Structure 1
Amino acid sequence: MTTTQPKHSGTDPQSTGLTEMSWDPITRIVGSLGIYTKIDFGTGRVAECHSTSSIFRGYSIFMKGKDPRDAHFITSRICGICGDNHATCSVYNQNMAYGVRPPHLGEWIINLGEAAEYMFDHNIFQENLVGVDYCEKMIAETNPGVLELANRTESPHAAEHGYRRIGDIMRALNPFSGDFYREALQVSRYTREMFCLMEGRHVHPSTLYPGGVGTHATIQLFTDYYARLMRYVEFMKKVVPMHDDLFDFMYEAIPGYEEVGRRRVLLGCWGSLNDPDHCDFTYRNMTHWGRKMFVTPGVVVDGRLVTNDLTEINLGIRILLGHSFYRDWVDQEVFVTHDPLGNPVDQRHPWNQHTIPDPQKRDFDDKYSWTMSPRWFDGTDHLALDTGGGPLARLWSTALSGLVDCGFVKATGHSVEINLPRTALKPEVSFEWRPPVDEQGRPLSNAIERNRARTYFQAYSAGVALHSIEKALAEVRAGNTKTWEKFTVPDEAISCGFTEAVRGVLSHHMVIRGGKIANYHPYPPTPWNGSVRDVYGTPGPYEDAVQNTPIFEENPREKFKGIDIMRAVRSFDPCLPCGVHMYLGDGRAIHTTHTPGGLNAG
């Protein structure tokens, strides 16, 4: 079992003692992400890092001129992993543009589908992809001393999860041979079934539309979902204490490990899982219904909640180019000067963005990636927000806002409480997630805590699903079975949709003119987390988290695998399909073949 192998480029002549190493591609999900580093093996620290995305993303170009009603079908194909998140965000965007409010039952069904997607995707990534970085075989290859200690260390919560020693947990995570690894694969199957019950098909929903859903809502439908959900609830009662034991052990076994993947706490969450009792999808009420989401939007800086106002969040988004392969659009048309409330809209806001590709040779002193540099402007600084892999930002913003309380999950203002009911084999269980701090009491955003938050957010998603299914069943029993509301497409409109993709913030911005799309820009977590240095020289989150990361791997330089670097990057749940679509300008024939007899000949 090996991690992605580094490419050695020798010693950097400009910086004596620094060794250049790159991991390109990082392939555990998709192979367009590259990490280029300079490592000081003398001090055991990464001195410099650049993150690259090697293939151009062109959806914002070919969306122009399309019928707006096709937007969710098209943008779903941006990604083969989180396509339903794009479809959902596009539908929210269209609801605003068309002025349509779906029936309550339709929104509860969407919540159940998206909650199932969180459960499915976080499970398969955490256990079958990230978990490999902490499995016995990986630890044996990179830190045999740590494995020896793990085999002697008792698990504090063995009674809850069944693994007597930490080494047993690590063996259970071994790919294909580990029992927990195989169990997680089965969990991924039935959580995907849960999604399909609500939205028809995974990952490109077939029953999701502006105005609601086409799902036929019956008691049987929700019973089938509920039976699988309760299996998942029981699974999480095992997973949360197991991961707590594993992650806490890493801190204890390797003093200083909290610095791996650490960066300043700059977190962004756009909120998700709307409450249909409050959400009308109008821009004028967006501040109100945004705060009623079951995942509260927010910007967290240095552990402090700066805002949970979705209107303010929207207006603060800036798309900077920096060191990316694009030309500026300062000389191009401005689509939106003011939002529907009369607030001025910046030219670097997604409503006004133009995507003008400018391919060239990669140069780390100039342009080196197809990823732009989204930032959030707080009135003074352009902040390089990250998503914490999604869950860290979601839980932190929700906890500090203190606005959610639906019985199964509650935000207290300083924590998130998760209450999971009795299941077939386990009693009722409560978990509490608190914003992490280091031993000095400073807010902590690092590789371990991003991964830990992912575990807790799985349980949180199950709690929201339990609430949503109760509300959906109440609608059906009351005879409110309508799931879709008709609408008309206006000749002109500006709109936006906000939600949380699995890996973090997701926004879709649209301008309609003449009944067609004039401008459309989807911004998923990938451009935020994987952004490059901006015009101010500020590195993107991947770059920032890897730079200065200490190296604890026990292998010598000649056999170095870079496991600490890989853990730092993978803690963000990197998923580059949103950056792997090609565009050929006005069209150019690469090769033409004439086959006698037509396409089926031979």
Structure 2
Amino acid sequence: MTTTPHQGGAKPSKSAKGSQDSELVEMAWDPITRIVGSLGIYAKVDFKQRRVAECYSTSSIFRGYSIFMKGKDPRDSHFITSRICGICGDNHATCSVYAQNMAYGIRPPALGEWIVNLGEAAEYMFDHNIYQENMVGVDYCAKMVAETNPGVLATAERTEAPHAADHGYKTIADIMRSLNPLEGEFYREALQMSRLTREMFCLMEGRHVHPSTLYPGGVGTVATVQLFTDYLSRLMRYVEFMKKVVPMHDDLFDFFYTVLPGYEEVGRRRVLLGCWGSFQDPGYCDYDYRNMTDWGRRAFVTPGVVVDGRLVTTDLVDINLGIRILLGSSYYDDWEGQEKFVTHDPLGNPVDIRHPWNQHTIPHPQKRDFDDKYSWVMSPRWYDGENMLALDTGGGPIARLWATALAGLVDIGYVRATGNSVQINLPKSLTKPEKSFEWKIPMHNGQPLSNAIERNRARTYFQAYAAACALYFAEQALAEVRAGRSDTWTPFTVPDEAISCGFTEAVRGVLSHHMVIRDGKIANYHPYPPTPWNASVRDSYGTPGPYEDAVQNTPIFEENPPERFKGIDIMRAVRSFDPCLPCGVHMYLGNGGELRRLHTPHAFGA
């Protein structure tokens, strides 16, 4: 991890009110993420009040898939959009296929749908595992804690782990040491699991991360009993692994609450969560927009918008119509007055000019100015009829589990939503007995809680949830094969005119693809993954994006003075969202040109 202070070192400045009780230090961490280095966090830290006073999230790259998708054959859209990201490319391919299914009016065979679900489950397991254990885990490892909070590590040495019998680590410090990069026992074990889960994905869809057997209408995978047996043998090893991981992380995260009173406030923001649903049920999902309300609710991860802990909708039609793309502080010109591609949806509902179906991407590069425009990320919002809500995905899992829990619609034995929790039942594995876990809606002092720790905890539980769902999907797929229903693909024709949308969950949260077809070609195409929702900047109304909001007012518990400040509490707040910038912004050079790097400003406000 590299902390890059303001150019010339940490620079103190008086607060706006000139208070003698407050002294702000301008600091920057750019890049911050351990995945792709284009996310920058610029903050003013008040070391007297031990709190972050101000935060800006920036992205320095622009690509432009929404521009060069125009005029393409829609049948190529999943292959092209898969390349948006080298991490969650299969999520984009899947979402694009969903949008194409709607546009072409096709329904894949059940077996094809189960295979897609198995692939997506493997992707969730792979990505959440490698991110949680090999990237987020570093922020909580012994080496990091020793550098930022040596007093916490000393206490961890004396604190016995409550679930030592389940995971094998006697003290909390032992858990922290197991997370040390490269040398930690658990760190290395997690790397082996990531290989296993990638193999599972490749069994279903041919290649990871850009699937080679996924098409509109289903898959080209040859489905056999041996195929699913190979998948299941790996899955059961992962199931056994999760029986260790869940209690281990519970011990670690609970310890931070105990040893650092008030740590609940790190990365905390108002509960504004969005989930677009995942894992289609082929018994109900026909990809017809007119039936989307019903088949959306039949998904094995329930779509929903959660506001202040309350579920306000599970209707994908409402979710779709409520999406608004605002610009505000991003480097684009507005498209007011441009062509409106879609006036009404297939149900006759009016579609707003700021909806993705009607968006025009007009890039306007310029110097970064934190009082005006400072990032290539736009500001998606969800309109509830009164307010433009800055929804976040919480890194994906906390929104998925929260919406699914409150909806209470999922009950397949391996997982069950109760109305206020999600129960996960893992069967007997090689060396461990049957085990059940329950993710409960996090609360603090009677209020719903969305913060850094709970986003990370949910990621652990969702790995177990995905594994449990995969067991069910494999059983259903095997039943199709044994019954002789071996078709995995349905043929289709491309219409001259169509509008469509695909909704699913990328690993990091909500993912939608919106497409308009004219004369058999793509006239408009806009993918909206979790990154622009989470990394969005101050919008047209001045509302900060989720990263910015979660970091602002975060208390500082790090023991280091300003000159040696690493910003670990800020890092934990941002990384709890599983940040990854490629999906947020996209490069486009028109008909060709020379791209020159003139300078790299580091100063806050440069």
TM-score where L is the length of structure 2:
0.96
Taking the TM superposition and a 5 Å limit, the aligned residue runs for 1:21-420 are 21-420=27-426
Query: Shift in Å at residue 25 of structure 1?
Result: 1.1
Structure 2 residue matching 1:206: 3-state secondary structure: coil
Which residue is equivalent to 2:601? none
Tell me the distance in 2 between the aligned counterparts of 1:589 and 1:436.
51
Query: Shift in Å at residue 379 of structure 1?
Result: 0.1
The answer to whether 1:6 aligns with 2:5 is: yes
Provide closer, same or farther for how the CA distance between residues 589 and 33 of structure 1 changes in structure 2, counting only shifts above 3 A.
closer
Structure 1 residue matching 2:474: 3-state secondary structure: helix
Out of 487, 507, 515, the position equivalent to 1:502 is 507
TM-superposition CA deviations, 1:234-279 (whole Å, max 9, x none) = 0000000000000000000101000000000000000000000000
Structure 2 residue matching 1:577: 3-state secondary structure: coil
Structure 2 residue matching 1:418: 3-state secondary structure: strand
Contact 2:10–2:563 (CA<8 Å) still a contact in 1? no
Contact 2:327–2:379 (CA<8 Å) still a contact in 1? yes
Out of 509, 512, 520, the position equivalent to 1:515 is 520
Contact 2:379–2:545 (CA<8 Å) still a contact in 1? yes
Contact 1:130–1:570 (CA<8 Å) still a contact in 2? yes
Q: Tell me which amino acid in the other structure corresponds to 1:66.
A: K
Which residue is equivalent to 1:443? 448
Task: Give aligned-pair identity as a percent.
Answer: 80
Contact 1:337–1:345 (CA<8 Å) still a contact in 2? yes
Tell me the distance in 2 between the aligned counterparts of 1:46 and 1:266.
21
Structure 2 residue matching 1:22: 3-state secondary structure: strand
Structure 2 residue matching 1:139: 3-state secondary structure: helix
TM-superposition CA deviations, 1:76-123 (whole Å, max 9, x none) = 000000000000000000000000000000000000000000000000
Which runs of 5 or more structure 2 residues have no equivalent in the other structure? 597-606
Tell me the distance in 2 between the aligned counterparts of 1:573 and 1:354.
28
Contact 1:92–1:498 (CA<8 Å) still a contact in 2? yes
Q: Tell me which amino acid in the other structure corresponds to 2:393.
A: T
Contact 2:305–2:403 (CA<8 Å) still a contact in 1? yes
Structure 2 residue matching 1:536: 3-state secondary structure: coil
Contact 2:4–2:27 (CA<8 Å) still a contact in 1? no
Tell me the distance in 1 between the aligned counterparts of 2:595 and 2:252.
52
Query: Shift in Å at residue 4 of structure 1?
Result: 3.7
Q: Tell me which amino acid in the other structure corresponds to 1:163.
A: Y
Tell me the distance in 2 between the aligned counterparts of 1:396 and 1:91.
26
Query: Shift in Å at residue 3 of structure 1?
Result: 4.6
Tell me the distance in 2 between the aligned counterparts of 1:359 and 1:154.
54
Q: Tell me which amino acid in the other structure corresponds to 1:153.
A: T
Which residue is equivalent to 1:485? 490
Tell me the distance in 2 between the aligned counterparts of 1:107 and 1:234.
26
Tell me the distance in 1 between the aligned counterparts of 2:15 and 2:279.
51
Query: Shift in Å at residue 69 of structure 1?
Result: 0.1
Contact 2:512–2:527 (CA<8 Å) still a contact in 1? yes
The answer to whether 1:529 aligns with 2:534 is: yes
Contact 1:57–1:370 (CA<8 Å) still a contact in 2? no
Query: Shift in Å at residue 178 of structure 1?
Result: 0.5
Contact 1:24–1:34 (CA<8 Å) still a contact in 2? yes
Tell me the distance in 1 between the aligned counterparts of 2:33 and 2:404.
32
Tell me the distance in 1 between the aligned counterparts of 2:546 and 2:472.
34
Out of 564, 571, 586, the position equivalent to 2:576 is 571
Query: Shift in Å at residue 6 of structure 1?
Result: 3.5
Which runs of 5 or more structure 1 residues have no equivalent in the other structure? 592-602
Provide closer, same or farther for how the CA distance between residues 580 and 378 of structure 1 changes in structure 2, counting only shifts above 3 A.
closer
Which residue is equivalent to 1:597? none
Provide closer, same or farther for how the CA distance between residues 196 and 4 of structure 1 changes in structure 2, counting only shifts above 3 A.
farther
Structure 2 residue matching 1:81: 3-state secondary structure: coil
Tell me the distance in 2 between the aligned counterparts of 1:57 and 1:466.
38
Which residue is equivalent to 1:547? 552
Query: Shift in Å at residue 584 of structure 1?
Result: 1.8
Tell me the distance in 2 between the aligned counterparts of 1:14 and 1:122.
40
Structure 2 residue matching 1:344: 3-state secondary structure: coil
Query: Shift in Å at residue 27 of structure 1?
Result: 4.1
Contact 1:325–1:369 (CA<8 Å) still a contact in 2? yes
Which residue is equivalent to 1:599? none
Query: Shift in Å at residue 578 of structure 1?
Result: 1.3
Structure 1 residue matching 2:131: 3-state secondary structure: helix
Contact 2:157–2:172 (CA<8 Å) still a contact in 1? yes
Tell me the distance in 1 between the aligned counterparts of 2:51 and 2:590.
42
Q: Tell me which amino acid in the other structure corresponds to 1:39.
A: V
Tell me the distance in 1 between the aligned counterparts of 2:111 and 2:535.
37
Contact 1:142–1:554 (CA<8 Å) still a contact in 2? yes
Tell me the distance in 2 between the aligned counterparts of 1:393 and 1:132.
24
TM-superposition CA deviations, 1:380-433 (whole Å, max 9, x none) = 000000001000000000000000011100001111000000001000000001
Tell me the distance in 2 between the aligned counterparts of 1:140 and 1:351.
50
Provide closer, same or farther for how the CA distance between residues 27 and 544 of structure 1 changes in structure 2, counting only shifts above 3 A.
closer
Tell me the distance in 2 between the aligned counterparts of 1:53 and 1:119.
28
Contact 1:272–1:295 (CA<8 Å) still a contact in 2? yes
Query: What is the root-mean-square deviation in Å for CA atoms of aligned residues?
Result: 1.0
Query: Shift in Å at residue 589 of structure 1?
Result: 4.7
Contact 1:6–1:562 (CA<8 Å) still a contact in 2? no
